[in-house]
């Protein structure tokens, strides 16, 4: 018998951690290769982690609610066949505890648990100055979980870390996750001096809403984007009267023929994709010592549920028709709301278009979808009096397009030209000039 480890997979290009939302197996269960083991939440997707082996679940290292970095062990599986286990000294601490027939003394077991602190536990402990050596864990093998610390914080009975123990613990954080990518380790180090959570008084009648793993992941990604990317913002107003007339004349027949709605948003995504092809600098990402200009034009779109925001991707949007883009928008939105979005649906985005106008917004500044270089907010189409070229005033259908940009990658000149081109494409859209097929 040999013991194999299942690790937290990377469920997206910029995903660095995931939260175990639900275990689908228990210790002692027999599983086959590719059977789902757990449901995992990230800032980009909800997904199931499949088993890489056939065997029996030996230990669940993480508990529900734990947030682990990509590459961290979530469970172990005992499989048949293969070579016998080597000496315990050469194996992982989890394997050693299973291979040993004699119970290890309590201090040794505690040391083994320390080696497996998750980044979420370490961060929470540092933010609240908790000495983890004084905490008794309720997880597998005495492992300290995030729930243990949250219960301790809520009770107010917190064992404080002394100044002499702070330095070793900070060192332990970097050493505890050897599988972490270098960029992630750097990000963890930057997160260490984070301010403690604010103390908010709770009065009678107030409702306390727990922050879910998805919401925490969204918050972390947005915070990273605002801290690392110097945001700039610009806006243009677009006269889409002809587009509105064209779409309204098509929508009923289109719905009967195609089976889904022809939305204004499909026209905007197509215009953006065409402009990105003409201004490829916008389709770029910051990579530290270089800028990566992406070849494929993959448009990320924001789709919201009641409690989370997901960003699926329309791949090669410049090669699709308005009808094709509309169909894909519809299918991705249905996947999100049915909880069937796959990790591959979220990967590869190079530029984000956000339909903020769907809930009546007329002007907004989006936070860039890291590590992309820009995000475009498409606001609500509203009727306004406009002074025409002949000096006459007419009621026109107007929309604001608001662009947030990473000023490390993009300058105002190229962004202004890009927005002007999007405006030109939209204002020239009509029955005579534009085909949706």
Do 187 and 235 fall within a single domain? no
**Inter-residue contact 80 to 55 (CB < 8 Å):** yes
- The answer to whether residue 76 scores a pLDDT higher than 80 is yes
The span from the CA of 158 to the CA of 134, in Å, is: 9
How sure is the predictor about 139, in pLDDT bands with cuts at 50, 70 and 90?
Answer: low
Residue-wise pLDDT for 149-194, tens only, equals 777 877 777 776 544 444 443 433 333 333 333 333 333 334 444 5
**Inter-residue contact 424 to 387 (CB < 8 Å):** no
Three-state secondary-structure class, residue 76: strand
The count of residues in the chain is 437
Beta bridge partners of 133: none
Is residue 407 part of the annotated active site? The answer reads: yes
**Which domain range does residue 374 map to?**
231-427
**Residue 187's CB: how many other CB atoms inside 10 A?**
17
Residue 176 lies in a domain: yes
Phi, psi of 150 (to 5 degrees): -65, -40
How sure is the predictor about 89, in pLDDT bands with cuts at 50, 70 and 90?
Answer: very low
Do 156 and 294 fall within a single domain? no
Do 187 and 256 fall within a single domain? no
- The answer to whether residue 128 scores a pLDDT higher than 80 is no
Beta bridge partners of 30: 56
b (16+ CB within 10 A) / e for 341-356: bebebbbbbbbbbbbb
Tokens of 359: 């809930």
Residue 121 lies in a domain: yes
Do 237 and 183 fall within a single domain? no
Count the helices and strands in the chain (H runs, E runs).
Answer: 11, 19
End-to-end CA distance of the chain: give it in Å, rounded: 59
Residue 196 lies in a domain: no
Total number of domains in the chain:
2
Residue 224 lies in a domain: no
Name the catalytic one among 252, 253, 296, 411. 411
Residue 347 lies in a domain: yes
Do 277 and 327 fall within a single domain? yes
Residue-wise pLDDT for 389-407, tens only, equals 999 999 999 999 999 999 9
Do 246 and 132 fall within a single domain? no
Rg of the Cα atoms in the chain: 26
Chosen domain end from 136, 171, 191: 191
Tell me the CATH number at 272. Answer: 3.30.559.10
Is residue 411 part of the annotated active site? The answer reads: yes
Tell me the CATH number at 33. Answer: 2.40.50.100
Report which DSSP code applies to 238: E
Residue 212 lies in a domain: no
Chosen domain end from 130, 161, 191: 191
Q: What is the 3-state secondary structure (H, E, C) of 363-412?
A: CCCCCCCCCECEEEEECCCEEEEEECCCCCEEEEEEEEEEEEEECCCCCH
pTM: 0.63
Report which DSSP code applies to 296: S
What rounded mean pLDDT belongs to the chain? 81
CA distances from 125 to 120, 293, 399 (A): 9, 40, 48
The span from the CA of 432 to the CA of 94, in Å, is: 69
Residue-wise pLDDT for 282-336, tens only, equals 999 999 889 999 999 999 998 887 767 789 999 999 999 999 999 999 999 999 8
Do 314 and 262 fall within a single domain? yes
Three-state secondary-structure class, residue 281: helix
Q: What are the start-end ranges of the H helices in 307-383? A: 322-337
Residue-wise pLDDT for 345-394, tens only, equals 988 999 999 999 998 999 999 999 989 999 999 999 999 999 999 999 99
Chosen domain end from 142, 168, 191: 191
């Amino acid at each position: 018998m040999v013991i194999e480890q299942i690790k937290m997979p990377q469920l997206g290009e910029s995903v660095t951690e995931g939260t175990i939302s639900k275990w689908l197996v228990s210790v002692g269960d027999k599983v086959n290769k590719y059977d789902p083991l757990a449901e995992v939440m990230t800032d980009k997707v909800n997904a199931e982690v499949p088993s890489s082996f056939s065997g029996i679940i030996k230990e669940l290292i993480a508990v529900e609610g734990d947030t682990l970095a990509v590459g961290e062990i979530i469970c172990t599986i005992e499989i048949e066949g293969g070579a016998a286990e080597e000496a315990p000294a050469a194996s992982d601490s989890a394997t050693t505890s299973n291979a040993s027939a004699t119970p290890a003394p309590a201090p040794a077991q505690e040391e083994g648990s320390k080696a497996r602190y998750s980044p979420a536990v370490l961060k929470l402990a540092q933010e609240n100055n908790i000495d983890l050596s004084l905490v008794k864990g309720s997880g597998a093998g005495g492992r300290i979980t995030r729930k243990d610390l949250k219960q301790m914080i809520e009770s107010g009975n917190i064992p404080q870390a002394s100044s002499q123990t702070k330095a070793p613990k900070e060192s332990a954080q970097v050493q505890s996750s050897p599988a972490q990518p270098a960029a992630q380790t750097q990000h963890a180090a930057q997160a260490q001096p984070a301010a403690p959570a604010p103390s908010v008084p709770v009065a009678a009648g107030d409702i306390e809403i727990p922050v879910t793993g998805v919401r925490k992941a969204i918050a972390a990604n947005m915070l990273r984007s605002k801290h690392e990317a110097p945001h700039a913002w610009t806006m243009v107003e677009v006269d889409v009267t002809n587009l509105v007339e064209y779409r309204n004349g098509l929508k009923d027949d289109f719905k009967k023929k195609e089976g889904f709605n022809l939305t204004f948003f499909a026209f905007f995504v197509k215009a953006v994709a065409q402009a990105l092809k003409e201004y490829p600098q916008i389709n770029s990402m910051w990579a530290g010592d270089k800028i990566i200009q992406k070849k494929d034009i993959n448009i990320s779109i924001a789709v919201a549920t009641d409690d989370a925001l997901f960003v699926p991707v329309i791949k090669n949007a410049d090669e699709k028709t308005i009808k094709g883009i509309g169909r894909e928008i519809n299918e991705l939105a249905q996947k999100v709301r049915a909880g069937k979005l796959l990790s591959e649906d979220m990967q590869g985005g190079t530029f984000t278009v956000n339909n903020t106008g769907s809930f009546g917004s007329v002007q907004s500044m989006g936070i860039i979808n890291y590590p992309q270089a820009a995000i475009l907010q498409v606001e609500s189409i509203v009727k306004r009096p406009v002074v025409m070229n002949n000096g006459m005033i007419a009621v026109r259908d107007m929309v604001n397009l608001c662009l947030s940009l990473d000023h490390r990658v993009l300058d105002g000149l190229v962004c202004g030209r890009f927005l002007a081109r999007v405006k030109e494409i939209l204002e020239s859209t009509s029955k005579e000039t534009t085909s949706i097929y």
